[in-house]
Structure 1
Amino acid sequence: MKIFNPYKALRTLAAVVILLCVLVPLSMMVTLSLNPSEENILINMGTLHAFIPETVSLQNYKEVLNDPYQPFARYLLNTLLVVFCTVGAGIFINSAAAFALAWGRGGYRKIYLMVIIAVFVIPGEALTIPLLLLVSKFGWIDSYQVQIVPFIASTFSIFLFYQFFSKLPQELIEAARIDGARLFQIYFKIGFPLSTPVIATVSILGFLDAWNSYLWPLMVTRGTEFRPLGVAMAAFFGTQQAYWGNIMAFAVLMTLPIIIVFLVFQKYFVTSVVGSSVKG
């Protein structure tokens, strides 16, 4: 006979509540996006029919994808380019910097680590205006590089990689040094391949951050040529006069890549989080 565990029941209840908080808005978004009638959507708002599809139509999605004034395909391409360049370059640069801080030689490492932690606690918004003035001097306004280069280096990513690399067995690193391997060779052949869970975590968090970026792209992009989805969503909302079916279809299309990325990397993400909690 199993003994009732109130703590386990409470955790289960909390998980169910959190799940509902996530799924209920998603179900409403999908349901409204499949409804081609704006009048019917307004009637169903605030009722159970807003969460359960009565009709299924892809009309709203066709209108979003074929809108000549708000080219979704262009926005998607811009966002994918910015996200993959930022996250991809950031993984190598931040992990290499973290490995040097963990296993490099010299007293500079502790100073750099203190600076990184200090920068990490500074709100990003506080650096927005100085950064904007700097990129303006470079002539980068309304370009891809202005959305990529300033965000490749991440203090949070460096700290995550540093936490992982600093826990590697010292005997493993020393053995590689005895064999004549240099620091970069040790990083490339030992450190980087072992850091897959951290790479997955940094990839997911970096992907979410870059994908949902709004304030900075809003300040540095001027038209549709370089505009990402985050800014395009706000512009689309303003030009559609609250046509909720189209807006929800746009939101679903913008959300799908995030869900796919998380489903692909969730195994490594959970492994990294659990491993960090055990080691911490």
Structure 2
Amino acid sequence: MSVIRIDKVSRWYGNVVAVNDVSMTIGPGVTGLLGPNGAGKSTLITMMAGFLPPSVGAVTLDGTPVWRNEGAYRHIGLVPETEAAYDTLTGYRFVLANASLQGLDDPGAATSAALGLVEMQEPAGRRISTYSKGMKQRIKMAAALVHEPSVLLLDEPFNGMDPRQRLHLMELLRKMGADGRTVLFSSHILEEVQQVATQIEVVVSGRHAASGDYRAIRTLMTDRPVLYRLRSSDNRRLASALIGDPCTSGLDLDGTALQVQVIDFERFSRLVPGLARELGIRLLEVAPTDESLESVFSYLVGRR
């Protein structure tokens, strides 16, 4: 099992700071790397892959620096965001070239196996220049997997894929994580990150903003109310009873539902059932409306 450690890493280009004093550990399983455009995600992934040195700090694989380390490259597979590829080659020859560069005993067999993993056997005989964006993503994935790396780094891998291809890739990433591989991917498709990643690292403006699963990150936000949706047999009476309680910071009666901003969930969870019983009100729904990763990410970006 492989572990990538980023220790107090900064990277700048002239006067532009792309990554600023970031530390994180990426271990076995699937990790999602989140951040807005320009947050430093691609720079971090390129440093993890050993193609870019940090200006300050260290990036290591199992304790060994990855920059200019040929041995480390044997254990890492990289799927870059850029679509640039050797367009005159067929998909098969492109993957075969990567297998040969890795010095595999049977590069042909490894190429066929990798193409099968990403469902690219049929178009493998065509030139890459004829591929759609989603197909280019999958052929890059095959090239990254051909040597069966213990670490897989993917920069926006879902770009250009149709829904069926996305589901297939999601399942493949889950399986590799379950098998003990270290998988890290960046994506702006937050719903998919939420479904696939067991660990989330958030980067905002080049800095490490949060770490954990999205619910664990959400619980750290004690200064932000949680929005709850309540439906009952008498929303107006329930709103009147809740409005003066210190566990809430705002209420909005919207059609058939009551939107409540909760700042003390423990008290709120006890108060609502008690009030309903006391007032003879039947509760139909009590549910959070902003526990999605989209909500967490937007809040973290807004804090910076």
TM-score (norm 2): 0.22
Q: Using CA pairs below 8 Å that are at least 6 residues apart, which structure has the higher relative contact order?
A: 1
TM-score (norm 1): 0.24
